[in-house]
Amino acid sequence: MPARPPPLLTFTEPPNAITQIFTPTSYDEDKPNRRWYHNLPLYGVVVLLLAPHPSLLFILINHYLVVLKTPIKFTVHILCVYALTFMMFSSLIVLVARDPGPVTFDEPLNDHDDNEEVGLTEALMSPDDFSAPGKWCRSCWAPKPERTHHCSFCGRCVLKMDHHCPWLGNRCIGHRTYPAFLHFLFCITLLAIYVAAVCANALYFAFKNPYTIDEFTPIHEILLTFAGITFSLVIGSFFIYHLYLVSTNQTTIENITPFLLLRHLPVLPSTEASRLSDPPLEHELSYRQRRLVKDAHGYIRLYDVGFKKNWTQVLGWKRPYGLAYRVLCGGSSTGDGKSFPRAANSEELLVRLARELVIQDKDV
């Protein structure tokens, strides 16, 4: 008797279907497959950071040991340069090796007893309103906490995502790596300024005393002075921009995307002739409404709770010797990365923006 073929359609749920939906995946399991050449920008960064050191050693030895014969100054400069280099690479290792912010849901979905049967629809429901815009990721098909964004390059959501950086191993900068990113920028900027100052001083001495030094050392001094000034201006400007973001409690995505405010608007006043969804979508806005949102983005900072609290939220620590850990590699931000306090006047400003959008909608 021939075996019965399997049914084409079944209505039975696997016993662990709900568990599979909400089981968190690690960064390495969820990210797209990458080849070795995807890390070429990271290799280039490492080469750029190490390339000046042979010339710098050549300058320090010739200038401080051969010409000036001051081994103490030589030792001090060597210690300063390689202390900054060590801290720079320690934060780089943290950025490459640490998960930027996994989205996990360890809490139970419901408060039902263990013996009580739960249906599929009821099991999928959560105490939070995940149907609200911005609280459900349509790509991961999972809840998305506050300030979390989906990275299309990594194929996953990242807690408090700042941006995706191809130069750091094609990884995102998020809740658990942002302080290390600040530390990395600070060390590069400080090291570039230090190298430029040391080499410029040695170059000035070479011009004033041309017969006391060989003809090759000034060439190294000119090149390193120029490289140090260039790095300090480029990376330093980027570092200053992130200092502004920390001081106002913004991420790069929140700062450059004003229409994220639409997700946080309260229920719009109901009008018969309104064309807007609730909350409004960017493509539905007229020119005046878009201009209104962009202007409001300049003074509505949802998470700005004051300069000191903003910095504590990013760089604060609760463990002993936390400052030493921050100085060494930057560490990670405090908190769970899922909930953040809001500014006291944010709700009032959002209500005013919603009312103005409806008024502008009537005039269209």
pLDDT digits (tens, 9 = 90+) for 103-121: 886 554 444 444 444 444 4
175 and 317 in a common domain: no
Catalytic site positions:
165
Residue 106 has a pLDDT of: 59
Q: pLDDT value at position 272? A: 54
Answer yes or no: is pLDDT of 65 > 70: yes
Mean pLDDT for the stretch of residues 284-295: 90
Question: What average pLDDT does this structure show over 177-201?
Answer: 97
Q: What was the pLDDT predicted at 112?
A: 40
Tell me the residue range of the domain where 179 lies.
27-103+122-247
Looking at the domain assignment, is residue 2 inside a domain?
Answer: no
Which pLDDT value is given to residue 162? 96
Strands (E), the chain: 136-137, 142-143, 149-151, 156-158, 163-165, 171-173
Radius of gyration of the chain (CA): 27
d(CA 159, CA 172): 10
Read off the tokens for 28.
């390495």
* Whether residue 147 sits in one domain with residue 47: yes
- Residue with more model confidence, 110 or 93: 93
Distance CA 141, CA 136 (A): 7
Whole-angstrom CA distances from 233 to 1, 199, 310, 349, 357 are: 81, 16, 26, 37, 41
Position 16 pLDDT exceeds 70: no
Average pLDDT score, the chain: 83
Please check whether residues 204 and 344 belong to one and the same domain. no
Answer yes or no: is 12 within a domain.
Answer: no
Is 14's pLDDT higher than 50? no
| Residue 304 counted as domain residue | yes
- Any domain includes 113: no
Higher pLDDT, 302 or 127: 302
pTM above 0.85, yes or no: no
Average pLDDT score over residue span 215-228: 94
Q: What is the number of domains present in the chain?
A: 2
Average pLDDT for 79-98 = 96
- Range 37-50 average pLDDT: 92
Please report how the helices 217-247 and 178-208 are oriented relative to each other, as an axis angle in degrees rounded to 10. Answer: 150
Domain closes at, from 209, 227, 247 = 247
Domain end call among 247, 281, 305: 247
The pLDDT assigned to 192 comes to 97
Q: So what's the pLDDT on residue 200?
A: 96
Contacts of 250 (CB under 8 A, 6+ apart): 301, 303, 304
Residue ending a domain, among 211, 227, 247, is: 247
pLDDT of residue 2: 55
**In sequence order, what DSSP letters do the residues of 255-318 get, joined into one string?**
HH-GGGGGGG--PPPP-TT----SSPPGGG--HHHHHHHHHHHTT--TT---HHHHHHHHH---
Is there a single domain that holds both residue 195 and residue 340?
A: no
Same domain flag for 219 and 324:
no
pLDDT tens digits for range 132-186: 555 788 888 888 899 999 998 888 999 999 999 999 988 999 999 999 999 999 9
| Rounded mean pLDDT, 290-302 | 92
Using an 8 Å Cβ cutoff, are 163 and 156 in contact? no
- 110 within some domain: no
- Same-domain status, 228 and 341: no
In whole angstroms, what is the distance from residue 268 CA to residue 257 CA?
21
Find out whether 360 and 289 touch, Cβ atoms under 8 Å: yes
Task: Tell me: pLDDT of 353 over 70.
Answer: yes
- Higher local confidence (pLDDT), 213 or 2: 213
Q: Are residues 94 and 190 in the same domain?
A: yes
Pairing of strands 156-158, 163-165: unpaired
